[in-house]
Amino acid sequence: MPVFISHSFKDEAVYSALCLAFDGANLARWDPATMALGHSLADQLRKAITDCEVCVLIATRSSIESPWCLAEVGAFWGSGKTVIIYLADPDLTESVLPPQLKGNLMARNARDLIASSRSTVENRTTVGTATHQMQFFASSGDFGGDSEWLKLLNDTNEGFDIMGVSLLSSRQTQGFREAVSKKAKHGCKVRILLMHQDNTALTASL
């Protein structure tokens, strides 16, 4: 399973050096150069995220302010996949990272990063037969209506993660609050990611 490396185009030099390190260690990585011209960028990124089990974020000032990087990392986080932070900027501290990334695995040099990535990939491969294939949808409506989403929540036993700019539709779904409360009381880990109103990604998307 390849490793997905999320980075800002402003950090191309760091990204190129890291790619060489991964290639030298014979650790597979997803290569953006494989994307076909003339096809949807979002669709091709979505497929790459589905195919990869590990995301490495090259953490710099540019990447943590990049809407694309936040979206990529958020997709991995939301699907329960591993996100490893590579602190390429020594001046960065955990306090400036997005809330969902605080407490994640961190590496400060390429050697530790490759070791952590390899270990995660190998562990994922070992349990791969029991891991469900993730599927991403362009909008919540593509998955189904309120009843389908509520059924998904009711059928969940271990963890339920939801994220988005607005959770209005979930809040208005009849029985949603009660289902979340019941699941949490029975030990199901429920995580709801809210985007802060001052997040630069919101401004960039307008």
Residue-wise pLDDT tens digits, 64-116:
889 888 888 888 888 888 889 998 888 887 777 777 677 666 888 888 899 88
Give yes or no: residues 111 and 156 share one domain. no
| 165: phi then psi, degrees, rounded to nearest 5 | -65, -35
Give yes or no: residues 23 and 51 share one domain. yes
Q: Which domain holds residue 75?
A: 3-130
Q: Which of 130, 150, 182 is the last residue of a domain?
A: 130
> CA nearest 7: which of 84, 78, 76, 60?
60
Q: Which of 130, 160, 192 is the last residue of a domain?
A: 130
Domain count, the chain: 2
pLDDT of residue 168: 61
Domain-embedded: residue 60: yes
Give yes or no: residues 100 and 152 share one domain. no
Give yes or no: residues 44 and 82 share one domain. yes
Give the least confident one: 27-31, 112-116, 136-140.
136-140
Domain-embedded: residue 178: yes
Domain-embedded: residue 146: yes
- C-alpha–C-alpha distance, residues 81 and 87, integer Å: 19
Q: Is the torsion defined by CA of 15, 44, 203, 75 positive or negative?
A: negative
Query: What CATH number should be reported for the domain holding residue 8?
Result: 3.40.50.10140
Domain-embedded: residue 135: no
pLDDT of residue 89: 87
b/e string for 104-139 if b means 16 or more Cβ within 10 A? bbbbeebeebbebbbebbeebeeeeeeeeebebeee
Give yes or no: residues 96 and 186 share one domain. no
pLDDT of residue 143: 65
Q: Which of 130, 153, 174 is the last residue of a domain?
A: 130
> CA nearest 66: which of 142, 121, 11, 122?
11
Residue 192 contacts residue 163 (beta carbons within 8 Å): yes
Average confidence (pLDDT) over 141-152: 70
pTM to 2 decimal places = 0.59
- C-alpha–C-alpha distance, residues 9 and 13, integer Å: 9
Position with higher pLDDT, 33 vs 56: 56
pLDDT of residue 99: 72
Domain-embedded: residue 183: yes
Length of the chain: 206
Q: How many CB atoms lie within 10 A of CB 191?
A: 13
What are the residue ranges of helices labelled H in 79-139? Answer: 110-126
Give yes or no: residues 112 and 145 share one domain. no
Give yes or no: residues 94 and 152 share one domain. no
Question: Does 159 score more than 60 pLDDT?
Answer: yes
